């Protein structure tokens, strides 16, 4: 999904940069990153074109066109970013990734906050394409209470942090806030007393958390997720975060560790709880080990909040159960477009919605899903039986936020799609 930023400031700022200036690349990167941080963007895209670079920001999960950088000079902002990230510029024709640290506020002469960023470079016909992922400021979303979940779900997450063993899976697509939630859970554990031995195996480390040991994958040295996990369990660790389960070896190692007195947090790219369980079996984990090893599955998405200043949302009355559009949410002409708080989008900030299912005999939904998984039933059958046992899916959870005016039906449809599609995919 892509839109255009209504405010003219970024476009004018980019247009004012002279590609013939010897400091063009430095000034362009300084301006782009500073503006992206001011806009609370999570990603900055520099897409090379024949006559320059198209600049896009991802704000609250939506890609927006910020403007165009003119070409024609010797300076290249993507090359400048590669230098800052310590990447060899002579290998611009090869996909690469690197990390850089940016001091927010240094351009304005005020106190600086160091922000970690991750740069990805990919060759195109017009030169290297750069994407900068802006990682969170230290301390942002550091508590479970700041994720936006309701009080009951916060208590559920806090209870999971008190567990001493088992596998807790975060389920959802890329960009659904899984890593943020896992960091909040780890901070909760790290702050508890008595102290517990906490380690992470990440690819890459996105935020440094005090009082825990964090490690980053280095495949060239033979350090993989599975091999690192097998070594970490021998480090007198009690709690382990594994950034993602993506292959059979990692899945087996995670489940085995969960059965030997370790509390494991990890993530899976799956659409819901039922498909997360099925994914584990597809990776070769036997049904009975899934049932005994998995402690809980948290299925999560992020929804945009309606802007509190203009209070308009998208202006669409699309309902969560159909594609019908009503006029109930259409804003007054020009009110949203002129709102500086949300840059004319109608939304400002995001919050998490989640479905939490436990597999410790206390949750009838979890028991039903485990039974149907072991019986070899389809994912669709698992979902149907879960609803019969009282499960609330993400559409149900999102509907309560729509009723309270925190978000709107159009945003729910953008993130979750039609309910029939969500239930029918499997």
Confidence category of residue 110, pLDDT binned at 50, 70, 90: very low
- What's the pLDDT tens digit per position in 57-79? 999 999 999 999 998 888 899 99
Structure tokens at 37: 């941080």
- What's the pLDDT tens digit per position in 317-339? 444 444 433 333 433 334 566 78
Cα–Cα–Cα angle for 56, 62, 63, nearest 5°?
20
- What's the pLDDT tens digit per position in 361-418? 899 999 999 999 999 999 999 999 999 999 999 999 999 999 999 999 999 999 999 8
% of the chain beyond a pLDDT of 70: 85
pLDDT at residue 389, as a whole number: 94
Residue 191 has pLDDT above 50, yes or no: yes
- What's the pLDDT tens digit per position in 265-299? 999 999 999 999 999 999 999 999 999 999 999 99
- What's the pLDDT tens digit per position in 34-45? 999 888 899 999
Enter the pTM of the model.
0.85
Q: Which residue has the higher pLDDT, 354 or 208?
A: 354
Q: What distances in angstroms separate CA 256 from CA 227, 239, 251, 282, one per listed residue?
A: 13, 14, 9, 16
- Residues 6+ positions from 221 with CB-CB distance below 8 Å: none
Taken in order of first residue, the domains within the chain and their CATH numbers are 2-134 (3.30.450.90), 144-424 (3.40.50.300)
Residue 138 has pLDDT above 80, yes or no: no
In the three-class reduction of DSSP (H, G, I as helix; E, B as strand; rest coil), residue 95 is classed as coil
User: Can you tell me which residue has the tokens 């709880």?
Assistant: 273
């Amino acid at each position: 999904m892509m839109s255009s930023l209504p405010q003219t400031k970024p476009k004018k700022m980019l247009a004012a940069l002279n590609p013939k200036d010897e400091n063009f690349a430095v000034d362009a990167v300084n301006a782009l990153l500073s503006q992206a941080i001011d806009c609370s963007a999570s990603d900055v895209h520099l897409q090379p074109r024949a006559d320059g670079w198209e600049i896009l920001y991802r704000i609250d999960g939506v890609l927006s066109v910020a403007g165009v950088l003119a070409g024609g000079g010797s300076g290249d902002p993507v090359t400048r970013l590669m230098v800052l990230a310590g990447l060899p510029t002579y290998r611009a024709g090869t996909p690469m990734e690197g990390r850089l640290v940016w001091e927010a506020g240094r351009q304005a002469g005020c106190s600086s906050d160091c922000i970690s960023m991750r740069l990805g470079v990919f060759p195109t016909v017009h030169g290297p394409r750069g994407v900068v992922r802006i990682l969170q400021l230290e301390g942002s979303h550091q508590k479970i209470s700041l994720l936006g979940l309701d009080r009951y779900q916060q208590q559920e997450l806090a209870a999971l942090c008190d567990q001493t063993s088992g596998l807790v899976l975060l389920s959802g697509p890329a960009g659904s806030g899984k890593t943020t939630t896992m960091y909040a859970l780890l901070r909760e554990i790290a702050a508890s007393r008595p102290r517990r031995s906490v380690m992470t195996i990440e690819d890459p480390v996105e935020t440094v958390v005090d009082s825990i040991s964090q490690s980053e994958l280095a495949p060239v040295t033979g350090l993989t997720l599975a091999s690192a996990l097998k070594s970490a369990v021998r480090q007198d660790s009690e709690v382990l975060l594994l950034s993602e389960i993506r292959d059979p070896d990692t899945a087996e190692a995670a489940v085995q560790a969960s059965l030997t007195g370790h509390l494991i947090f990890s993530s899976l790219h799956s659409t819901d709880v039922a498909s997360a369980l099925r994914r584990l079996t597809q990776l070769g984990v036997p049904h009975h080990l899934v049932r005994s090893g998995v402690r809980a599955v948290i299925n999560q998405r992020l929804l945009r909040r309606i802007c509190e200043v203009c209070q308009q949302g998208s202006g669409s009355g699309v309902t969560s159960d159909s594609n019908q559009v009503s006029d109930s949410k259409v804003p007054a002409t020009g009110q949203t477009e002129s709102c500086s708080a949300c840059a004319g989008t109608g939304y400002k900030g995001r919050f998490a919605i989640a479905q939490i299912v436990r597999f410790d005999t206390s949750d009838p939904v979890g028991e039903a899903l485990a039974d149907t998984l072991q019986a070899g039933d389809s994912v669709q059958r698992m979902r149907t039986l879960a609803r019969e046992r009282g499960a609330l899916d993400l559409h149900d959870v999102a509907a309560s936020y729509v009723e309270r005016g925190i978000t709107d039906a159009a945003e729910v449809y953008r993130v979750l799609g039609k309910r029939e599609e969500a239930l029918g995919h499997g």
